[in-house]
Structure 1
Amino acid sequence: MLIRILKNAWPVALLLLLAFVQAPPKKIRLYLIGDSTMANKIKQTFPETGWGMPLGTFFDSTVVIDNRAQNGRSTRTFLAENRWQPVVDALQEGDYVFIQFGHNDEAENYPDRYTPPADYRKNLIKFVTETQRRKANPVLLTPITRRKFDKDGHIMETHVAYSAVTVEVARQYKVPLIDLDKMSRELVQQFGVENSKLLYMQLAPGDHPNYPLGRNDNTHFTELGARKMAQLAVNEIKAQRLPLAERIAKPLPKNAVPPPAGKDAQPTTP
């Protein structure tokens, strides 16, 4: 009799157990739209690295990074080249869109990309409102600083007008703001005039075969610089307690040994 009762009871017990087991969160996509400071790079330009490239390493497997940022694009050219509409069409409820422009919008010497502040504002609003209509989550980011010091070794602001517009739009439309301009200036100041060269594409002749003549670039990042900038964004996601913070990867237990990379694995930013 007891055996028969137990046989009949175990399916019910199993169902009750499953009811209390929390279903894993569904996967979401984190879209990145912006310029070369964020974009994916090809191996011929290595060690240049967009900060969107290492970003995925900070999240667990429920976050898929979809990096649509492109070299040389302003908000105006990103829209004119129809790079935004495919993102809108693909957005699902709960997805995120990180929006970071400004470098090329402010380039008055390049009329093919320059966008006046008033138009820049309109374009940011378009990105924000169309993301919200799809029940996805827009996040505005101010443009990352260029490496520029005054004669006393103090970091200088290089995106004053366009960062201010970004902050204003975020406040008006009540969307999260990650002030990468301010945070990256603080980081570069901490590194100082000489050590900050490690963050940017400052290469002497012979440092890398891709740049036999060297490179003097205070805008684009090395692997180290890209990882540091991505880390700033992730730290701010935590600080603001955005729901996305729940999907940040948990640290490995102490003394844990990471699994070896496969034989076909490519070098990546840690």
Structure 2
Amino acid sequence: MKWFSSYQWLAALACLLGVAALHASEQDTRQPATIFIAGDSTAATYNNADHQGWGAMFGQFFSDEVTIDNRARGGRSSRTFITEGLWQELINDVQPEDMVIIQFGHNDGSPVNDDRRARGTLAGIGDDFVDIENQLTGKQERVFSFGHYIRQMVNDVKAKGATPVLVSLSVRNLWQRNGMSHRIERGSGDYGYWLYQLAWESDTPYIDLTNAVADELERLGQQATASLYPKDHTHYNDEGARLHAKHVVAGLKGIKPGLDEALFSEQGQQTEAYDWSFVRLPVKADKFRKSVFMVGDSTVRNGWGDGRDGQWGWGDFIDEWLGQPPLNIVNRAVGGLSSRTFVTQGHWQRALNMMNPGDVVVIQFGHNDAGALNDDSRARGTIKGIGHEEVVIDNMLTGQTETVHSYGWYLRKMIGDALSRGVTPVICSPVPRKKWDDSATRIARASNSYPQWAEHVARQAQVPFIDLHELVASRYDAMGPAAVDAMFADKHTHTSLRGAKFTAQLVAERLAPMLGLSVEETIDGGSQ
């Protein structure tokens, strides 16, 4: 399958997420004449095969129609890139429709004031600042937060009619034992998360380079990874730079509107797109905290997770009840997917690779598993039940041969994968739809279907189970049709803000004891 070149695939993707149909026209693709890169030594160009930034290899993925202008400069932070005038020189050359890739963080944790570099920024993305007499320059300077400098860059690019793209940090060759295996560091400090927050705040494309590269390096292993970092743990050689560049390109192919396929070289066209960049799936806020992950469909995280059309998933509000003491709440659910396609499209593995021993992952699928096993629009169905049946198909959507299993098989896979990492899986039955029985006084329950199959798999595996189907349905019964209408943003499937918060609190109350927490709020339908 040719990723990002098929209108049929893009239309299917839009349908999966419940968004407006995409149109095969020029307005659906970006065609920048120049792609600028602003960053530090991990992106900068060097005349040294053993010390190379990914920006030096980036141009290999594009045709001659695109100019790659790499302005990254070694040793700079977001602050010094601006204060030394490098940013102004770049922005002066930016034209409407250009693209500017922005990646900083490796040097922002340095001292704010010293006589050697004086390049550090204040931690976070707040409005705080400190006035200093710069020991390096001898001048008065007001130093701001990391977020302040990134915001300035984003705003400057948008003011020129160009597109900013925020990219999380490259990966350092630092490993530590994690459970029964060794895992590579996933980002220095919290800069990747701060960039993610800034991307949401400014409605700017975000590429999670850190986790994408870390996944590949862990597959390669420590010895092969070490060969990519001959100088030190931060800087890589040509091959390491090319690996990072490839993942930046994969991420760019997944933003909307995307880059025209004609802009890519043969190498770029062969690079498989990460088609979900535009959804901006969450990343962990603090790698040292315990995390609660959620995986599922649109009833857990709807579309972009921004309440479009009034529709929200319950996973977006768990933190309102489980935020103290601080936990990472990471909602990796993707609308339109089944247990099968969440696995086959790589979302499960990406989420799993972010988890650490002691974390919790809440799993809820079922709404989309009843779809067709094979068609040219979604091809997401699973074999009914929890048995070991399987069928081999030539997938009409992907063009690939695939072995399709039962709903229970995919749940068991996720449970087994989580347990092998020291992660606690919690199975949820799918939330009920707003469908009343003939008396119009009781929500219709599914029988011998996904709620029961989910429970059976959980009991077999002896892992925690939350019967969300019955919990929510019984409360809807007590509320009555008029009150329940306010819980939904569409006819019968996707909850409103009120409905999502209502369900989130039910889940939080069952999760809290597993996390050693308590939930004191009274269930009243959630805050408005």
- Aligned residue for 1:132? 158
Judging changes above 3 Å, is the alpha-carbon distance between structure 1 residues 110 and 143 closer, same or farther for their aligned structure 2 residues? farther
In structure 2, the gaps of 5 or more residues are 1-25, 125-144, 270-528
* Offset, 1:241: 4.6
How big is the alpha-carbon RMSD for the aligned residues of Structure 1 and Structure 2? 2.3
Q: How many Å separate the matches in 1 of 2:268 and 2:196?
A: 36
1:49-69 residue CA offsets vs partner (Å, 9 max, x unmatched): 110011111011111011110
Q: Which residue does the alignment assign to 2:63?
A: 60
Count how many residue pairs are aligned between Structure 1 and Structure 2: 214
- Amino acid in structure 1 at the alignment position of 2:183: H
Distance in 1 between residues matched to 2:80 and 2:219, nearest whole Å:
34
Out of 252, 268, 272, the residue aligned to residue 237 of structure 1 is: 252
2:104 maps to 1:101: yes
Q: Secondary structure at the match of 2:147?
A: helix
Q: CA deviation at 1:107?
A: 2.8
- Matched-pair contact (CA < 8 Å) for 1:27–1:62: no
The Cα shift of 1:191 comes to 1.4
Point out which structure has higher relative CO (alpha carbons under 8 A, 6+ apart). 1
1:233–1:47 distance in 2 versus 1, CA, 3 Å: same
Give, in angstroms, the shift of residue 176 of structure 1.
0.5
Partners of 1:147 and 1:188 within 8 A in 2: no
The CA deviation at 1:161 is: 1.2
The answer to whether residue 43 in structure 2 is matched with residue 38 in structure 1 is yes
- Correspondence 1:1-270 to 2 at 5 A: 28-42=33-47, 45-108=48-111, 111=114, 112-118=118-124, 119-151=145-177, 152-200=181-229, 202=230, 215=231, 217-246=232-261, 247-250=263-266
| Other structure's SS at 2:92 match | helix
Q: Secondary structure at the match of 1:228?
A: helix
Q: Which amino acid aligns with 1:220?
A: H
> Structure 1 pair 168/35, CA: closer, same or farther in 2 (3 Å)?
same
Check conservation: 1:98, 1:140, Cα contact below 8 A. yes
* CA spacing shift, 1:110–1:59, aligned 2, 3 Å: farther
1:161–1:26 Cα change, 3 Å: closer
Conserved? CA contact 1:32–1:97, under 8 Å: yes
Contact 1:125 1:169 in 2 (8 A): yes
What amino acid is the match of 2:53?
Answer: G
Q: Distance in 1 between matches of 2:159 and 2:200?
A: 18
1:132-177 CA distances to partner (integer Å, 9 max, x unpaired)? 0000010000111211111341112342411111000001111100
Alpha-carbon shift at residue 244 of structure 1 (Å): 2.4
Q: How far 1:109 sits from its partner (Å)?
A: 9.0
Residues 20-42 of structure 1: CA deviation (Å, up to 9, x unaligned): xx9xx976111100000000102
| Structure 2 CA distance for partners of 1:251 and 1:224, relative to 1, 3 Å | closer
Distance between the aligned counterparts of 1:104 and 1:28, measured in 2? 30
Query: Residues 199-246 of structure 1: CA distance to partner in whole angstroms, max 9, x if unpaired?
Result: 21x2xxxxxxxxxxxx4x011111110111100011111233543253
Tell me, which stretches of 5 or more residues in structure 1 are unaligned?
1-21, 203-214, 254-270
Task: Report the Cα offset of residue 184 of structure 1.
Answer: 1.6
Give the SS at the match of 2:166: strand
Partner-residue secondary structure (3-state), 2:69: strand
Query: Aligned equivalents of 1:158 and 1:27: distance in 2?
Result: 29
Q: Distance in 1 between matches of 2:188 and 2:51?
A: 21
Q: What is the CA–CA distance in structure 2 between the aligned matches of 1:228 and 1:41, rounded to whole Å?
A: 16
The Cα offsets for residues 67-124 of structure 1, whole Å up to 9 and x where unpaired, read as 1100100001101100011111111111010000000002349851211224110111
Of stretches 108-117 and 52-61 in structure 1, the one that deviates more from structure 2 is 108-117
SS of the residue 1:39 aligns to: coil
Q: 1:146 and 1:92, CA in 2 relative to 1: closer, same or farther beyond 3 A?
A: same
Change (3 A) 1:73 1:251: closer
Greater Rg over alpha carbons, structure: 2
TM-score, normalization by structure 2: 0.39
Q: Which SS does the other structure have where 1:32 is aligned?
A: strand
TM-superposed deviation, 1:183? 1.2
Corresponding residue number in structure 2 for 1:4? none
State the partner residue of 1:210.
Answer: none
Q: Which moved more, 1:96-105 or 1:243-252?
A: 243-252
Higher-helix-fraction structure: 1
Matched position secondary structure for 1:221: coil
Q: 1:73 to 1:198 in 2, by over 3 A?
A: same
* Residues 146/84 of structure 1: CA separation in 2 closer, same or farther (3 Å cut): same
In structure 1, how many angstroms separate the alpha carbons of the residues matched to 2:155 and 2:268?
38
Report the identity percentage.
30
